[in-house]
Structure 1
Amino acid sequence: GFSPSNLLNFYFQKMSLLNATRRHPSKLRLCYVRFLSSFKYEDLQITITDKPAPKPDNDSLKFGAQFTDHMLEIDWTAQNGWGFPQIKPLEAFKIHPAAKVLHYATELFEGMKAYRGIDNKIRLFRPMENINRLTSSAQRTALPEFDKGELLKCMKKLISIDQEWVPYSEKCSLYIRPTYIGTEPTLGVASSNQAKLFIIAGPVGPYFPTGMKPVNLLADPKYVRAWPGGCGTYKMGCNYAPTIAIQDLAVKKYNCQQVLWLFGEDHQMTEVGTMNLFIYWINENGEKELITPPLESGLILPGITRKSLLELSRQWNEFKVTEQNITIERFKKALFDGRVKEVFGAGTACVVCPVKKIVFKGEDLNIQTSDDATSLTQRFFKTINDIHYYHKANNWMEAVEEDEEESLRTFESQ
């Protein structure tokens, strides 16, 4: 229940709102629409395609290149609030050339996956974690709030309708991309009075088709991905565009597949490409330690895989687990002392990705890697994959109820 202080705060907030709306009556409806209204699953409108696309072979899957038959789309305006959610055939939508998203990057997105388990049931991996992060990003982007549970129910319905697109394979999955954009057709840097929330999905193959492959990283202190007080902790499109040229530089000039993002005069190691960074080493006190940069700095995206690996490590209780800033000089000393055991990135696409070399100021920092199943990288990979495909039951996986009627209509019309 409410504590006395919470009740008092609630009272003063309501009185403040009441006084404000007495002075400006026209703002009453706008305030409540923006912050209190939400679309509802019970209002969901469904239109099934009469031209379902053929399902691709698992061996031909390319990330982000194939999409399911349907999409979820929900519009919002400051004047009318949330419209009815719609599941409809995948299609291009019209957008005004002055839309806020096209000029001021009023946009955010999520990346998550659904898996077909060994029992043939479809499950999402920790979906509410992604939705929580989505709403956090929306708040920073000044886009309207909504009920998180209602979005999850709509998302599950979309997956259930397109369930035959979830690959029958333990190496593949259904990638889900919720996206939220400001669509008001006016120029001027301001919050958008129109918005669109939509979800598309598509089958994806394994990140490592022929087995886990270690990567090289370019660490160039001239470039930063995020800074304190910025938006590096949010999953916004504006965080990614400035990194593309540096990624191209890493590949073409340095034979590196990813970028190790540094920050500050002391060259703090922050993220690996679009993944969270982990280092497994023997620390200065002679302890086995898994270390990853902390979230408090505002430089790090709070990854769901990151959170899961930290929770697993603490459950195992076999080595020290630390969230702490680490400079590249401290890392170099540990490397030259022979104390670095493994370095890897972690994220939705790959689960974990081992690192074999860091290129820093013309110097190659070579890191040992191992295909041994006892390595921490391999152990994390197997443990998370066993959870994904339900070899190990875990409440991180949330079932999608199959919609036999709608999915059958889609399947039979092929």
Structure 2
Amino acid sequence: MGRQRPSGIFRPPLIADLDPSKLIITLTDSPKPLPNPENLVFGTTMSDHMLVASFDPVDGWSAPEIKPYGPLSLDPASTCFQYAANIFEGMKAHLRPDGTPILFRPEMNVARLGRSADRLALPPFNPNALLELIRKLVALDKTWIPTAAGCSLYIRPTLIGTRPGVGASDRALLYVILSPSGPYFRKGPTSISLLAATQNVRAWPGGTAGNYAPGFLPQLEAAKLGYDQVLWLLKETGEDAKKKGGWRVTEAGAMNIFVVLSREDGDLDIVTPSLDGTILPGVTRDSVLHLCKAHTDKSKKLSLPGIPPPKSSTRTKSHSPSLTCSTGLLNTDYSKRSR
């Protein structure tokens, strides 16, 4: 007797978990030529292979497969298309001097993807298993990791709901694609200009993101005025408006933001918005905070969770100004827009 498939909308339980030991690898028979690093545009060039796995409410996760990069076949009524039941992550791979790939604190990315899946009622997965599969995919396509300055192999894990109908999806597709990328800002590692946005809101307390597409128009408008990015602000309301007034600084269009304040004695304060649900808990943000706090305590080694400690336990003497690093609300009056 065949198994009855459940009906209705429900939060799918974890049945068969994502299992790297079941990985199926199908190599491409038509490898693509490697791109010129000088011509790389973010998110437009893909490597030879991709990772895919699907979730079914009866069988759980399928055997993961690394196969040639190509189109996906999906029902047009899938929740990912109709109701934005999809999530993604982004991380980078570089090459060590010995030619082996290295990822920067990827455990944080897969854990964040898991939290996103929980929030959108998408099927759960083992983050450690996903990371192991990502490492295998990157190792297979490591020739696609550019070595030019400012370049990297961008890793995009994506989880989408594939069940037709309104409601939480008990079917899903997980896939990972790799894209060799140049510097995000084509003008290179230099300062960027920000336009403070007061007419639109990117994220709000209790929201669930979905903020890329709504941000495209404000970004285009900022570019027309000569700005690189939008600095998203949130209008203070209620008691906060009475106490502080003005606007709350959240983050920029493609990054968290830090403000460096110089004291009269020459010391520095480094401040960034707190994780109140309106900004991304960025891996770079977390890394900067850890390094700043370690810098203020000369008795401790400079280290990051998930990063091997330095071989030498001796710290060099620093002649830089003292640092105070903190998180909190950044409030300001942006009645006038300036560069």
In 2: Cα distance, 1:161 partner to 1:64 partner: 19
Once the two structures are TM-superposed, the CA of residue 147 in structure 1 deviates from its matched residue by 1.1
Runs of 4+ in 1 over 4 A off after TM superposition: 30-33, 283-287
Contact 1:33 1:80 survives alignment (8 Å): no
Q: Deviations over 1:73-100 (max 9, x none)?
A: 0000112211110000001011111010
Identity across matched positions, percent: 39
The answer to whether residue 221 in structure 2 is matched with residue 217 in structure 1 is no
Q: Give 1:257's aligned residue.
A: 228
Contact 1:77 1:194 survives alignment (8 Å): yes
The answer to whether residue 173 in structure 2 is matched with residue 196 in structure 1 is yes
The answer to whether residue 87 in structure 2 is matched with residue 83 in structure 1 is no
Once the two structures are TM-superposed, the CA of residue 287 in structure 1 deviates from its matched residue by 5.1
The one-letter code matched in structure 1 to 2:200 is: Y
Task: Choose which of 268, 271, 275 in structure 1 pairs with 2:251.
Answer: 271
Q: Structure 2: any 5+ residue segments left out of the alignment?
A: 237-245, 297-321
Contact 1:37 1:146 survives alignment (8 Å): no
* Residues 100-249 of structure 1 mapped to structure 2, 5 A cutoff: 100-184=79-163, 186-188=164-166, 190-208=167-185, 211-232=188-209, 238-249=210-221
The one-letter code matched in structure 1 to 2:272 is: T
In 2: Cα distance, 1:220 partner to 1:156 partner: 39
Contact 1:76 1:83 survives alignment (8 Å): yes
SS in 2 for 1:320: strand
Worse overlay, 139-148 or 207-216: 207-216
The one-letter code matched in structure 1 to 2:217 is: A
Once the two structures are TM-superposed, the CA of residue 122 in structure 1 deviates from its matched residue by 1.2
Structure with more of its chain in helix, by fraction: 1
SS in 1 for 2:118: helix
* Residues 3-402 of structure 1 mapped to structure 2, 5 A cutoff: 34-35=13-14, 37-184=16-163, 186-188=164-166, 190-208=167-185, 211-232=188-209, 238-252=210-224, 254-265=225-236, 266-282=246-262, 288-295=268-275, 297-317=276-296, 318-329=322-333, 360-364=334-338
Worse overlay, 243-252 or 133-142: 243-252
Contact 2:15 2:61 survives alignment (8 Å): no
Normalising by structure 2, report the TM-score. 0.83
Q: Give 1:371's aligned residue.
A: none
The one-letter code matched in structure 1 to 2:205 is: P
Aligned residues: 300
Contact 1:66 1:202 survives alignment (8 Å): yes
The one-letter code matched in structure 1 to 2:327 is: E
Contact 1:100 1:183 survives alignment (8 Å): yes
The one-letter code matched in structure 1 to 2:175 is: F
Contact 2:162 2:169 survives alignment (8 Å): yes
Once the two structures are TM-superposed, the CA of residue 284 in structure 1 deviates from its matched residue by 9.1
Q: Deviations over 1:256-303 (max 9, x none)?
A: 2211111123300110112101000136998520000000x2111100
Contact 2:37 2:151 survives alignment (8 Å): yes
The one-letter code matched in structure 1 to 2:222 is: A
Alpha carbons of 1:283 and 1:224: their partners in 2 closer, same or farther (altered >3 Å)? farther
In 2: Cα distance, 1:284 partner to 1:191 partner: 55
Once the two structures are TM-superposed, the CA of residue 35 in structure 1 deviates from its matched residue by 2.9
The one-letter code matched in structure 1 to 2:214 is: P
Contact 2:123 2:170 survives alignment (8 Å): no
